[in-house]
Amino acid sequence: MKRTPLKSRSKKETARVRRYQQARYIVAERSNGYCEANTPNCRGPLDQVHHRKGRDGDLVDDVDLLLGVCWSCHEYIHGHPLESYERGWMIRRNGE
């Protein structure tokens, strides 16, 4: 879990969080409430938003880097990195 600092957010940080929340909302709309990964373990309904390039402390607001997933696919993706890179569920950070 990401730690939240106690001090209040700057305007820039607030804008960043808002863009992230909007991106998550767009993913939820795009997926129609269903998992977009469809791994062999898929359970159907959308539970979480997966970051295809990982989070690395950043709030990703590029919807192309976000994938709506069920919790089961989310586990599957992180448990099968090679397959996930192949299927595009994960993207390598340093080039293709």
Tokens standing for 61? 């607001």
Distance CA 33, CA 74 (A): 15
Q: Supply the minimum distance, in Å, between the C-beta of residue 73 and Zn ion.
A: 3
The residue among 60 and 74 lying less far from Zn ion, judged by its C-beta, is 74
The residue among 46 and 94 lying less far from Zn ion, judged by its C-beta, is 46
The residue ranges that bind Zn ion (CB under 5 A) are: 35, 37, 42, 70, 73
The residue among 26 and 42 lying less far from Zn ion, judged by its C-beta, is 42
